[in-house]
Amino acid sequence: MRFVDEFRDPALATALIREIGVLSARLERGRANPIAVMEVCGGHTHAIFRYGLEGLLPDLIEFVHGPGCPVCVLPMGRVDDCVAIAERPEVIFATFGDAMRVPGSRKSLLQAKAEGADVRMVYSPLDALELARRNPGREVVFFGLGFETTMPSTALTVLRAAREGIANFSVFCNHITIIPTLRALLEQPDFGIDGFIGPGHVSMVIGTAPYRFIAQEFGRPLVVAGFEPIDLLQSLLMILRQMAAGEARIENQYARVVPEQGNPAALKAVAQVYEPRPTFEWRGLGSIAGSGVRLTEPYAAFDAERRFAVPDIKVADPAACRCGEVLTGAVKPWACPVFGTGCTPEMPLGALMVSSEGACAAYYQYGGVRGAAA
Amino acid sequence: MNSPFSLSRRAPRKVTQPFVTLAHGGGGTAMRDLIEDVFLEAFSGAGHPAPEDQARFDLAALAAKGDRLAFTTDAFVVDPLFFPGGDIGTLAVCGTINDLAVGGARPVALSCAVIIEEGLPVETLRRVVASMARTAAEAGVAIVTGDTKVVARGACDKLFLTTTGIGVVRAGLDVGIAKGRPGDVVLVNGLLGDHGAAILNARGDLALETPIESDCAPLHDLIDVLIAAAPGVRMMRDATRGGAAAVLNELAEASAVGVRLRELDVPLRPEVNGFCEILGLDPLYLANEGKLVAVVPPEEAQAALDAWRAHPLGRDAAAIGRLVAERPGRVVMETRFGGERIVDMLVGDQLPRIC
């Protein structure tokens, strides 16, 4: 496949891996722990496992799979709210596919659908708007989910609904933003991450400037990366080079897609349609100030939370789960007491077992090379 | 109501209404019209079936074909009914023929049970039945008995089919999911994932313009070729729901062996590969309707591949991996870099990823 195979070239990978090996060996001298690099984005986690990158890298390098899987970090209570909306007889509930299996405290959207709720899988919020046009007698609610990657498309859809006066369309807004969460992680006292592989698609929207505090205040390098194996290896090497030079900068490996200033049109739509919530709850991490958004007052009419009396259910994470510690790299997935026993992709207990982008699901599915039962 | 193809002595009956109604399942004249005009007309090509409640077979003639009877059934509920490369009718015939053939059986006859949602255009039903008849005739298999039910709107989705088949297993041939041994070679007869991608694409939610056709095909002929070239063949399966990944996981578990695949050797159509990239799907899990996964002893692998590649349904045949003693029960993919990942069974359907 053109424009893809180039980024999966084994010869290039071998050369990069060799260079990573040399550099990490040099860096390791005098260190007690392996070099820990967090890939923030779930898409990166998926790619690392899909191509078996961990097994190819020296043991001195450890990937920590960060909180960048929007499906995984969705709290149970929000899923319960989704189910409550979807079960209203007048509602068509439109959602991205992988959100359907996320367990709420009572049931998932997939179960609600089986019990009669009208839940439809869509590929874009515009598909949901089209459903609203075609079903004027029904209330179509789009489950807005994801980071800055999907935020603009939801925003543009709301703007279009407003322009066209489509009154039976609304958004159950669960969009979240990664920056406050990265800060919250970095502020933890014993946060042992040496550098970050920054999310590619999020950065395509927000640009690279919002990450500067990571280098300036916390002295960690961050390299915005693409999603192909070569992208990931090259980004890792860029992080190691910074470490070797004693530097901490924000670099952009994914320049073919990510402009430094982001996407101004998308950012404008985002600023118009959303405002930060005081706090938002993340599964496994708890409430984080300013990490979620809701619709602004001018678009309140399209806010499902205001249109329907959403129960706003709060459910504590299951006590046995150690998702929070896995997300911060303090604990490896297989060290969690319920990994693979009480918590499997079939019956996920914790957030990270839910989506194929979740660290635990990835280890379970693809078999972590070091340590996980294989 | 088990005599749908039974004949009346009067002049052939015709269905005149454009849509199937509950009356067509009621057991009266409307039903007889439907059966005679739509089903019997199409299925009687190989000689009229007897006007009885069951098809009857001469045991001696069957016994001459082999030493065991094979018997299988499959239900078909595909949406949409028609898709590039086939329709529910071709699926229903190929699916059951293939389920017989992978056991080493030569297919003999099929039944066809039909559940119709009221309101289905009769023309739609005719098209489906015509492709069933054509597919069966091409495969040299007769559809000899059946049943028709009509249910109220909403009680089923347009049209459901169930086909049951019998066949005779070649004397002495013993293939099975538990017969794989370390060292054996895993073969597929062509590009994987076409059917699954074609169906997803045909649902139209994605508006992709790439034409991907289902690979729906009867495989008994290809299996004849394989058995002739590799008489020691250990296992054959058609990689339908759950794709090649599901078959290989079953094999690994039942045979207590590890399966090692090489990503670079898995044959994929560029369109299907691209389709999977966009949706975040894994082609190994996509359904096929004309793809065999076969396991043969290493010394017969090249002969099997050569024979397949000379057959129209096996042109893109490939050896995709081998069985090993290590990690029994696991399917492991060597990625193109020499990394590895486990190819596990799916929990449910693959769902497109959000980003």
What number is the average pLDDT over the span A161-167? 97
> Does one domain contain both B164 and B276?
no
pLDDT at B345: 79
Query: How far apart are the CA of A246 and the nearest CA of chain B, in angstroms?
Result: 31
Residue A216 pLDDT > 70: yes
* Three-class SS of chain A: CCCCHHHHCHHHHHHHHHHHHHHHHHHHCCCCCCEEEEEEEHHHHHHHHHCCHHHHCCCCEEEEEEEECCCCCCCHHHHHHHHHHHCCCCEEEEECHHHCCCCCCCCCHHHHHHCCCEEEECCCHHHHHHHHHHCCCCEEEEEEEECCCCHHHHHHHHHHHHHHCCCCEEEEEEEECHHHHHHHHHCCCCCCCCEEEECHHHHHHHCCHHHHHHHHCCCCCEEECCCCHHHHHHHHHHHHHHHHCCCCCEEECCCCCCCCCCCHHHHHHHHHHEEECCEEEECCCEEEECCEEEECHHHHHHEHHHHCCCCCCCCCCCCCCCHHHHHCCCCCHHHCCCECCCECCCCCCCHHHCCCCCHHHHHHHHCCCCCCCC
First vs last Cα of chain A: how many Å apart? 31
What number is the average pLDDT over the span A165-192? 94
B246-283 per-position pLDDT tens digit: 999 999 999 999 999 999 999 999 889 888 887 778 89
> Does one domain contain both A124 and A4?
no
Contact B340 A10 (CB under 8 A): no
First vs last Cα of chain B: how many Å apart? 51
Query: How far apart are the CA of A12 and the nearest CA of chain B, in angstroms?
Result: 10
Q: Flag whether B15 is in a domain.
A: no
Instruction: Give the total number of structural domains in chain B.
Output: 2
| pLDDT band per the 50, 70, 90 thresholds, residue B353 | low
> Does one domain contain both A63 and A208?
yes
User: Nearest 5°: phi and psi at A138?
Assistant: -115, 160
Q: Spell B209-230 as b/e; 16+ CB within 10 A means b.
A: eeebbbbbbbbbbbbebbbebb
> Does one domain contain both A189 and A303?
no
> Does one domain contain both A248 and A334?
yes
- Residue B25's contacts (CB-CB under 8 Å, 6 or more residues apart) are B1, B31, B116, B148, B149, B150, B151
Residue A53 in contact with partner chain B when CB distance is under 8 A: yes
Interface test with B, best of A1, A111, A126, A153 (most B CBs within 10 A): A1
> Does one domain contain both B158 and B261?
no
pLDDT at A372: 39
Of B117, B140, B169, which residue is a domain's last? B169
A297-334 per-position pLDDT tens digit: 999 999 999 999 888 888 888 888 888 888 877 888 88
Q: Which residues pair with B109 in a beta bridge?
A: B142, B166
pTM for this entry: 0.80
Judge whether B289 and B241 are in contact, CB under 8 Å.
no
> Does one domain contain both A63 and A81?
no
Q: Count other C-beta atoms under 10 Å from residue B173's C-beta.
A: 15
Quote the tokens at residue B346: 């799916």
Q: Flag whether A271 is in a domain.
A: no
> Does one domain contain both A14 and A61?
yes
> Does one domain contain both A239 and A369?
yes
B120-170 per-position pLDDT tens digit: 999 999 999 999 999 999 999 999 999 999 999 999 999 999 999 999 999
> Does one domain contain both B234 and B321?
yes
CATH number at residue A9: 3.40.50.11750
Residue A371 pLDDT > 80: no
Q: Is the link from the previous residue into B80 a cis peptide, with omega within 30 of 0?
A: yes
> Does one domain contain both B230 and B334?
yes
Quote the tokens at residue A15: 């050369």
Of B273, B342, B351, the CB nearest to A1: B273
Judge whether A324 and A351 are in contact, CB under 8 Å.
no
Judge whether B155 and B117 are in contact, CB under 8 Å.
yes
Please name the residue of chain A whose CA is at the shortest distance from the CA of residue B329: A374
Q: Flag whether B233 is in a domain.
A: yes
Q: Flag whether A352 is in a domain.
A: yes
The CA angle A232-A358-A41, to the nearest 5 degrees, is 40
* Closest by Cα among B291, B285, B248 to B85: B291
Contact B342 A356 (CB under 8 A): no
CATH number at residue A131: 3.40.50.11740
Residue B351 pLDDT > 80: no
The DSSP letter of residue B47 is S
Of B107, B140, B169, which residue is a domain's last? B169
Interface test with B, best of A56, A119, A143, A257 (most B CBs within 10 A): A56
> Does one domain contain both A329 and A213?
yes
Q: How far apart are CA B170 and CA A57, in angstroms?
A: 51
| pLDDT band per the 50, 70, 90 thresholds, residue A6 | confident
> Does one domain contain both B305 and B190?
yes
- Residue A115's contacts (CB-CB under 8 Å, 6 or more residues apart) are A87, A107
B190-201 per-position pLDDT tens digit: 999 999 999 888
Of B274, B336, B341, the CB nearest to A367: B341
Q: Flag whether A272 is in a domain.
A: no
> Does one domain contain both A243 and A212?
yes
Of B139, B169, B199, which residue is a domain's last? B169
Q: How far apart are CA A113 and CA A93, in angstroms?
A: 10
Contact B344 A147 (CB under 8 A): no
Quote the tokens at residue B250: 């079953």
> Does one domain contain both A250 and A205?
yes
Residue A238 pLDDT > 80: yes
Contact B354 A99 (CB under 8 A): yes
> Does one domain contain both A156 and A120?
yes
Q: Which residues in chain A have their CB less than 8 angstroms from residue B327's CB?
A: 374
Q: Spell A37-56 as b/e; 16+ CB within 10 A means b.
A: bbbbbbbbbbbbbbbbbbbb
Q: How far apart are CA A221 and CA A198, in angstroms?
A: 10
Interface test with A, best of B205, B337, B349 (most A CBs within 10 A): B337
Please name the residue of chain B whose CA is at the shortest distance from the CA of residue A102: B351
CATH number at residue B80: 3.30.1330.10
Q: Flag whether B351 is in a domain.
A: no
Q: How far apart are CA B343 and CA B324, in angstroms?
A: 15
User: ipTM for the complex?
Assistant: 0.70
> Does one domain contain both A8 and A152?
no
Longest dimension (CA), chain B: 71
CB-side exposure of A74: number of CA atoms within 13 Å?
30
Please name the residue of chain A whose CA is at the shortest distance from the CA of residue B282: A50
Please name the residue of chain A whose CA is at the shortest distance from the CA of residue B272: A1
Residue B355 pLDDT > 60: no
Judge whether B192 and B243 are in contact, CB under 8 Å.
yes
A84-139 per-position pLDDT tens digit: 999 999 999 999 988 888 888 889 999 999 999 999 999 899 999 999 999 999 99
Q: Which residues pair with B325 in a beta bridge?
A: none
B45-67 per-position pLDDT tens digit: 545 555 678 889 999 999 999 99
> Does one domain contain both B37 and B103?
yes
B292-342 per-position pLDDT tens digit: 999 999 999 999 999 999 999 999 999 999 999 999 999 999 988 778 888
Judge whether A32 and B339 are in contact, CB under 8 Å.
no
Instruction: Give the total number of structural domains in chain A.
Output: 2
Q: Flag whether B11 is in a domain.
A: no
Residue with tokens 């807004």: A173
CB pairs under 8 A between A and B: 96
Q: Which residues in chain A have their CB less than 8 angstroms from residue B338's CB?
A: 10, 56
Q: pLDDT: is B174 or A355 the higher one? A: B174
Q: What percent of chain B has pLDDT over 90?
A: 71
Residue A368 pLDDT > 60: no
Q: Count other C-beta atoms under 10 Å from residue B199's C-beta.
A: 22
B-proximal residues of A, 228-287, CB under 8 Å: 229
Name the residue range of residue A152's domain: 76-176+292-307
Residue A97 in contact with partner chain B when CB distance is under 8 A: yes
Name the residue range of residue B244's domain: 185-342
